[in-house]
Structure 1
Amino acid sequence: MKNNFTFIKTDRKLLKINFNEIILIKGLGNYVEILMLENKKYIYYNSLKDLMEKLPSEFMRVHNSYIVNLTNIDFFEDNHLMLKGNKISVAKGYRECLNNTLNKLIL
């Protein structure tokens, strides 16, 4: 069974978050900041590398500091992604993989 949600430990409680509500995840050293729809943010103790292994396939690493939810991309232009008002740079090493993934989604 594939869940469309997970739990994170933040502020001494277990918090349920839905994957489709995650806009992006930003690495902050040993912590990550999870940016949600409706301008919610959660700080969570984990590394981007460990988190990437547990996320569903609609999540993609696009920079050493960012994982994005492909379902929340508004547009991709000049090596930048726009996700619900957040402009994210796409690093050179991740660009080809992102292009290939997005090209498969073109009608």
Structure 2
Amino acid sequence: MNLRCLIIDDEPNAVNLLEVLIGQTTQWQLVGKCYNALEAIAFLKGHKVDFIFLDINMPHLTGMELAGLLPKDTKIVFTTAYAEHAAESYAYQTIDYLLKPITLKRFLAATQKIEASFGKTAAQPAEIAAIKPEPDYFFFKSGKTLRKILLDDILYFEGEKEYVRLLTGAEELLIYRRLKDIEEQLPPPFVRVHNSYIVNTKQLNKIQDNHIYIGGKQIPVSDKFRDGFMEVIKQRIF
């Protein structure tokens, strides 16, 4: 698929890596490389792109601030070393959220998402009426068993040294994966709040003194993840 893309990132090494990955694995046209948000704004005034690779931590304007200034239909693939902005990123037309360092395997998975997002045709009203949405779920491997768990039922994930503990209101599973790997696949409303915890914000009971209370459990919110978590929560505060 011949798509036009733009890279916006203040790290030359990160830009170079993306350029190599694009050139070696896709038929896309890389129309430009910008090293800060102001340069990108000027570039986009005179060039049309299908989507952008957008870093988050940049001088002058962050990637999130730039995303808020772009046309609402601008499709974005966020690229960042920080997982805590993942939930916030989906307030925009986000196709994917790539954590640095970006591996070839992860980039190839992203290319499938990107091309799929441009390959879909809009459903007609009659088709939309006929669609019955199913609850979101994943199959989690625990021991030799694959367990189907509805995402809405999950309270939180707790990372241990060699495995992750998944808690619902009714059961507990041990999953032999890294917490980071699970985080990459989780959609909102799941948010990382600590090196050891990802929580389902739908299941929160209260927030007090840098702690979350969920399913009878008190979970700390660390400094590293507090800002990203509170940005999500602020959208629901009256």
Answer yes or no: same fold by TM over 0.5: yes
Q: What amino acid sits opposite 1:10 in the alignment?
A: S
Q: Distance in 2 between matches of 1:24 and 1:45?
A: 16
- Following superposition, the deviation at residue 18 of structure 1 comes to 0.5
Give ranges in structure 1 of 5+ residues lacking alignment: none
Which of 46, 58, 62 aligns to 2:177? It is 46
Q: Distance in 2 between matches of 1:64 and 1:2?
A: 31
Question: What do the CA deviations read for 1:58-95 (whole angstroms, capped 9, x no partner)?
Answer: 10000000000010001111000000211000001111
> What's 2:234 paired with?
103
Structure ID, larger Rg: 2
Give ranges in structure 2 of 5+ residues lacking alignment: 1-132
> What's 1:92 paired with?
223
Question: What do the CA deviations read for 1:5-50 (whole angstroms, capped 9, x no partner)?
Answer: 0101113111100101110100012210001112x10000111111
Q: Distance in 1 between matches of 2:182 and 2:146?
A: 16
> What's 1:58 paired with?
189
Matches within 5 A, 1:27-38: 27-38=159-170
Task: Answer yes or no: is 1:24 the counterpart of 2:156.
Answer: yes
What is the aligned-residue identity percentage?
33
Q: Does structure 1 retain, via aligned residues, the 8 Å contact 2:135–2:150?
A: no
- After the TM superposition, list the runs of 4 or more consecutive aligned residues in structure 1 that deviate by more than 4 angstroms: none
TM (norm. structure 1) is 0.93
Specify the SS of the correspondent of 1:56. Answer: coil
Greater strand fraction, Structure 1 or Structure 2: 1
Greater helix fraction, Structure 1 or Structure 2: 2
Q: Does structure 1 retain, via aligned residues, the 8 Å contact 2:154–2:169?
A: yes
Q: Does structure 1 retain, via aligned residues, the 8 Å contact 2:205–2:215?
A: yes
